Amino acid sequence: MTSQDFGSQLTQTQDPDSQCQDSSPPWGFLFGDTCYIQLNQSKHSFSRTDLQIPKHADRKCQFAVEREVSQEDGSSIVFIKHKSLSTNTYLNGTQLKINSARSLQNWDKITLYQPNPADKSLILHYKEAGAEDCKYDKDLCEKYQVLEVLGSGSFAEVRKGIEKSSGKRVALKLIKNTAVATSNIKHEIDLLKSLQHNNIIKLVEYFEGPTTLAIVLEYASGGNLLEKVKNSRESRFSEALAKPIFTQLLQAIQYIHEKQIVHRDLKLENILLENSTSNNIKLTDFGVAKLFGAGERLGSFCGTYHFIAPEVLRTKFDDIEYGPAVDLWSCGVILFVMLSGDFPFESDDTCTLEARILAGQYDFDNPNWETVGNDSKDLIRKLLELDPQKRLTAEQALVHNWLQPEDEPILASPNRAVLGKRSEFRPPSPQRNRSVAVSTIEKENSTSQSNLWSCSPKQPNKPKKFCTESLVQSLSCDNF
């Protein structure tokens, strides 16, 4: 459906005799998650049905957008009027009174709050025709409307976008155009081109402008897994909910490993949900992913703290290599968080956190684990195995007892004898009020060669509050 089709559809529902045949050039646009509308009449009235709000087929007028043109100098003014007694309309965060007119300016935001708080509110933006609306590459801006920031990191930001011709939503990963960025982003694009899996975000296209590089990606509207854990009851998942999500993650990891790709930055924020009502996941952010095997060396220090494997940490002070098993360690951390709302390794002090990861120091003492079965804990232990040679692969994890139907237990993973029980280092610790929090790896200076095993805390451990925003960033790999 083109943007013109959107406009035709809307005007036909309003007044087919007087409006649907009008082909006047638009003087403005309204666009949001559900629609991209051309405004070419002196008055447009919109209901929730017109705006294609899911679950809400209400043809009563919600608000009207009107345009008055001066007979003297041809200047115009656009304003919005709220019309509904049962629902609210907000302009830039301020509630509109019924039948009151407010001037509508370029890039103003119109919000329609849903009757059910569990449903996402609809946000529309107004743009004047011909207004400069994009600071990025011209070709990108001609095809896509660039909207609000979805997330940002040290080297890139991700924004929501709308394809103007169809109203289709996309995610736009935008990076400042430099020689290093160009090389790295083309590497990411090459990897994404080779991946076709239901649980991996899809590449749509790529733009290279004089100042900005842009990767256009499939849009997953359900947010990320960190947000879903945070917003769930008790800030954790039941085993019944965690199983299908974790199975999809392992299937995606199995697929990329079969293609000789290691992700190297698996974390809750890089696992997206297809939409707000679905538990289908999409693995994203292959910015530090790399091929392994065939002479490729994996020895760079990169990833995100709390999720990083011990062998990656060791690259800070030893010239060692690692392999795809680092992704399975991160999967173990992710499963631990999903089931408990807690990190297996945590400290406010980086040095102490590293020591705990290197020692494999974690436990199931949190009361949340009292209602979790032994099979899930066994799977976590076999993923958080210090020896990467003994750590489960994605294929082996997928046939673990915990992920099988209850009436079809699998007693052992293929090609795997009974794993040795790892020793757990559990020094006394203060009572913890744990919750999910995320730290970013910070590049260490020459002191990173120090003995992490003998570190003493720089500050007392403090309870952490749940992350309130999706602001996790990763350290880009040294010697990529």
Q: Of 50, 137, 265, 327, which residue is the catalytic one?
A: 265
Which ranges constitute the DSSP H helices of 160-281?
179-193, 225-231, 239-258
Residues whose CB is less than 8 angstroms from the CB of residue 341 and which lie 6 or more positions away in sequence, other chains included: 229, 234, 235, 236, 368, 434, 435, 436
Q: Helices 325-340 & 374-383, crossing angle to 10 degrees?
A: 150
Measured CA to CA, the distance from residue 248 to residue 331 in angstroms comes to 11
Contacts of 4 (CB under 8 A, 6+ apart): 38
CA distance 452 to 468: 30
Nearest-CA neighbor of 271 among 337, 213, 320, 199?
A: 199
Structure tokens at 257: 């490993």
Q: Where are the alpha helices (DSSP H) in 205-324?
A: 225-231, 239-258, 310-313
Which residues, listed in sequence order, are joined to residue 144 by a DSSP beta bridge? 163
The token duo for 282 is: 């999409």
Residue 114: what are its φ and ψ, rounded to 5°?
Answer: -80, 150
Separation of alpha carbons 18 and 202, rounded Å:
42
Structure-token pair, residue 392: 């489960």
Buried b (16+ CB within 10 A) or exposed e, 23-47: eeebbbbbbbbbbbbbbbbeebbbb
265 catalytically annotated: yes
* Catalytic residue list: 265
